[in-house]
Structure 1
Amino acid sequence: MNDSYLNFVNSPFGARVARSLGLPKPEVLRRYRADEPEFGGLVAIGAGREPHLLDSLADLVASIGVTSVAHESAGLWMPLAHRHGLLTGRFEPAESGSAARVGALIFDASGIDESSQMEPLHAFFHDTLRSLGKCGRIVVLGRPPEACPSPRKWTAQRALEGLTRSLGKEARRGITANLVHVAEGAEREMEATLRFFLSPRSAYVSGQVVRIAADGLHRLANSVVVTDAIGNDAASPFDWNQPLANRRAVVTGAARGIGAAIANVLAAQGAHVIGIDIPPARDALEATMRQLNGTALAFDIAAPEAPAQISAALDDHGVDIVVHNAGITKDKTIAKMTGSAWQSVIDINLCAQERIDDALLAAGILRDGGRIVGVSSISGIAGNPGQTNYATSKAGVIGRVQSMAPLLRPRGITINAVAPGFIETQMTAKMPLALREAGRRMNSLAQGGLPVDVAQTIAWLAHPGSAGISGQVVRVCGQSLIGA
């Protein structure tokens, strides 16, 4: 849907009006386009004491081909960069209007062992933040607090969440800030996640905390190596430009809207997409799948026979990725809500996911090393008046992800969820104007997201390089103030 205010304040005349009246001016976000470079600009590197991740970070900088500049806090970066053959220099603040603005800020805080060692964080961001360009990226790297060997390190690493989320709210200008906790032994598994957070693909993801675990999976060159139960390694190669090539992905609710966007992004990254939607949406589903050379399955996922039907349709070739996107709303306050309205939302949004996954896992149709991604919602985190049924179902999706992750780990299968905030869809277009504008502006980016923002986040979680991410919920909400 068209955001008239965003378009107006970013026009020459509207920008002048906004400045004169002191109106907020949301930035037009830079999103991924196949005809534009995915990475560019300078990357400023900072670090705390005894950083553990700089070597892996140098591999990433070399892989994506950007130029780095070292802040004085990252004294080890210069010799390390030279050993990797990287173009690098010393950080110098950009002058006002300078074309040489920094595109990303990365701080390695993994070696900070106690709260008294946090001064380099202040020094780095104090010196660099004003040099960060529009739609820039901030990534803070640390260790998972719960895995820290001492209470003081746990305390210091947990404190990074407050820093990162505050940076996301201070920076504005389309800038995002995210925190990545990298477990010991998972240093070589962080590339897919850093590529996502540094690229335009994460345009509407900010204020998030992601944990990368080792779990016996590691990445070598452009392949994921899974160690099986008897100790054998089986390499599954991938291309960063087509990481989902030779993989099969199921997307429910794929006929239109967010589901169609998910199908498009997965297909663009090389997957063969099998779209599922209800029989009344057959024509739209077939049209969407036809454009992607995908497969259309017109099934009602809430029907008792649906798991068997889906399993039979997929049995010959199996699948690698399952995206549970299908969902409905039937909004009423609970005092006015009928029992059927309650149960139908729970059944379609939550129970159907459980039944389908049970069938695919029991039959081995979802292959080992596969990915399950559920679509939750900010409503499932914060609740919403008039949506007790919907919020219950979406909170249940989060519960599934957290409870199933350890059970699926022995098979190398990950399960995660995305929780969209205000996304510009046909549904939000029907909201009253005041509620719609509130939904758009009540986040750090001061605008609504697009279906492609949800789709790109799901594609990252489905990526073969995301094997260390499981049991997590990533909000696609522009760092919404609701549920923050």
Structure 2
Amino acid sequence: MTDRYQDLVHTPVGKFLVKNLGLPNPPKLERYRPDAPLVDGTVLVGAAPGSTLGSSVTDALATLSVATTSTLDEGARLKGIVLDATGIDTAAGLDQVQEFLTPVLRSLSACGRVVLLGTPPEQAATPGRAIAQRALEGITRSLGKELGNGSTAQTVYVGSGAEHAIASTLGFLLSPKSAYVCGQVIRIGIAGLTDAPAFDVAAPLAGKVALVTGASRGLGLAMAQTLHRDGATVVGLDVAPLADDLQREMAAIGGESIILDITAPDAPQRIAAYLSEHHGGVDVVVHNAGITRDKRLRNMKTENWHKVVEINVDAPQRITAELLDQKLVRTGGTILGVSSIAGIAGNNGQTNYAASKAGVIGWVQELAPRIAADGLTINAVAPGFIETDMVKTIPLTIREAGRRMNSMSQGGQPIDVAETIAWYASPGSAAVSGNVVRVCGQSLLGA
């Protein structure tokens, strides 16, 4: 859907009004293009004394062909800043973050990136380390709201033993692929998986099979197209009324179609049978299909409550259980759920939807350690305000609030959610499990 306000502010008249009236000023976000470098510029890399990720960061960025520097020349511009803060183990030691960042932040280009690397606070051996490492989240969440101009800030916790599994995550966070991801915390090597294979940066999913539900339009279609771009053979699934759209879109990317209602009692078995017969298994399972039936709880009909929960979280859990029982998700495979900021912060008139999307988070966090022994991962995205056909039904004032109440002052695009899914799906993200990453432009709602 067109954001007319965003179009206006980039005109001469709009720029004048924004400057003189203090209106929101949504920047033009850079998004990834396959014909462009992954990171189009230089990344400054630093480390606090005693930090442990130096060689891992250097190796990872070299693998990604990212230009780096350890010093900032006068007048130089930076596309990214990475600080290894794993050595900070006291509250007083946090001065080192400020002393490193303050002199260089003004050199950050538009749509720049800041990434702080730490160790999981829950793995801290001392109170001082737990304080310092948890404080990194407060720094990046606040910095993300300060930077402006389309720039972002994130915290990445690297668990013990996962030091060499960070390339995929750094590539995602430093590149335009994470255009609408800001103020997030990512944990690597927490759910029992600490290693990741080498991967082809241009086509990480070559030879892989991906199932995407709700794939005929919107977020699901963007996910299918992006996974195909990264090399996957895509099997799209949707309901019978959308069969023509699904078959047309899947044919355009050389994919396949399954016409099926995921709430059917035999849906898990039918999906499993198709994947087994046609592909001998599956590598990526994206549970995107979902619905809303909005009413305040006092006016909610039982059938609308039940249907939302059934489609959004119960059916994905049942389908996944069947695929796992039949051992059809291949080693190194990943299961991906779609949550929502409504499941984190709640939303007026969406108790059923929020319940289902919070349920997705509970499912992801419970299943992650259980499937780690089989070399499998599970994660979730939590979209915020994304410009899909669904937003056309939202009243104007609420729609504008959704667009402006985030650090980017605009809604996201379906590709932003799809890029996050593709990062999770990459073999290089094999140590990323049990995470819930918001794709919301750092919405003011939620955590």
- TM-score normalized by structure 1? 0.90
Matched, 1:382 2:345: yes
Matched, 1:266 2:223: no
Report what 2:263 is aligned to.
302
Using CA pairs below 8 Å that are at least 6 residues apart, which structure has the higher relative contact order?
2
Which blocks of at least 5 consecutive residues in structure 1 are unaligned?
71-89, 95-99, 225-236
Q: Distance in 2 between matches of 1:428 and 1:124?
A: 42
Per-residue CA deviations over 1:299-347 (Å, capped at 9, x if unaligned) read 0001111111111111122101100000000001111111111101111
Q: Distance in 2 between matches of 1:359 and 1:164?
A: 40
Report what 2:31 is aligned to.
31
Which blocks of at least 5 consecutive residues in structure 2 are unaligned?
none
Tell me if structure 2 keeps the 8 A contact 1:289–1:296. yes
Q: Distance in 1 between matches of 2:327 and 2:298?
A: 43
- Letter paired with 1:63: T
Aligned ranges for residues 366-405 of structure 1 at < 5 Å? 366-405=329-368
Aligned ranges for residues 283-298 of structure 1 at < 5 Å? 283-298=244-259
Report what 2:154 is aligned to.
178
Q: Distance in 2 between matches of 1:376 and 1:166?
A: 24
Q: CA deviation at 1:2?
A: 1.0
Aligned ranges for residues 322-471 of structure 1 at < 5 Å? 322-471=285-434
Q: How big is the alpha-carbon RMSD for the aligned residues of Structure 1 and Structure 2?
A: 1.3
Per-residue CA deviations over 1:145-166 (Å, capped at 9, x if unaligned) read 1011112111110011100111
**Alignment partner of 2:330: what SS?**
strand
Tell me if structure 2 keeps the 8 A contact 1:238–1:245. no
Report what 2:52 is aligned to.
52
Per-residue CA deviations over 1:24-54 (Å, capped at 9, x if unaligned) read 2111100011222221212122221212111
**Alignment partner of 1:188: what SS?**
coil
Q: CA deviation at 1:66?
A: 3.5
Tell me if structure 2 keeps the 8 A contact 1:444–1:480. yes
Matched, 1:150 2:111: no
Q: Distance in 1 between matches of 2:68 and 2:330?
A: 40
Q: 1:239 to 1:66 in 2, by over 3 A?
A: closer
**Alignment partner of 2:40: what SS?**
coil
Report what 1:164 is aligned to.
140
Report what 1:197 is aligned to.
173
Q: 1:120 to 1:217 in 2, by over 3 A?
A: closer
Report what 1:319 is aligned to.
282
**Alignment partner of 1:189: what SS?**
coil
Q: Distance in 2 between matches of 1:66 and 1:409?
A: 31
Tell me if structure 1 keeps the 8 A contact 2:380–2:436. yes
Q: Distance in 1 between matches of 2:426 and 2:313?
A: 24
Report what 1:92 is aligned to.
73
Per-residue CA deviations over 1:100-119 (Å, capped at 9, x if unaligned) read 42111111100111111111
Per-residue CA deviations over 1:175-232 (Å, capped at 9, x if unaligned) read 010000111211110000000000000000000001111745424xxxx1xxxxxxxx
- TM-score normalized by structure 2? 0.97
Per-residue CA deviations over 1:90-129 (Å, capped at 9, x if unaligned) read 31353xxxxx421111111001111111111111111011
**Alignment partner of 1:201: what SS?**
helix
Larger radius of gyration: 1
Matched, 1:218 2:179: no
After alignment, is 102-111 or 22-31 more displaced? 22-31
Q: CA deviation at 1:12?
A: 3.3
Matched, 1:113 2:113: no
Tell me if structure 2 keeps the 8 A contact 1:47–1:120. no
After alignment, is 148-157 or 372-381 more displaced? 148-157
Q: Distance in 2 between matches of 1:365 and 1:68?
A: 41
Q: Distance in 1 between matches of 2:276 and 2:63?
A: 38
User: Number of residue pairs matched?
Assistant: 444
**Alignment partner of 1:169: what SS?**
helix
**Alignment partner of 2:110: what SS?**
strand
Report what 1:251 is aligned to.
212
**Alignment partner of 1:273: what SS?**
strand
Tell me if structure 2 keeps the 8 A contact 1:181–1:210. yes
Q: Distance in 2 between matches of 1:305 and 1:65?
A: 47
Q: 1:68 to 1:367 in 2, by over 3 A?
A: closer
- Letter paired with 1:284: D
- Letter paired with 2:256: T
- Letter paired with 2:245: A
Q: CA deviation at 1:354?
A: 1.2
Tell me if structure 2 keeps the 8 A contact 1:93–1:131. no
Tell me if structure 1 keeps the 8 A contact 2:161–2:194. no
Q: Distance in 2 between matches of 1:14 and 1:246?
A: 48
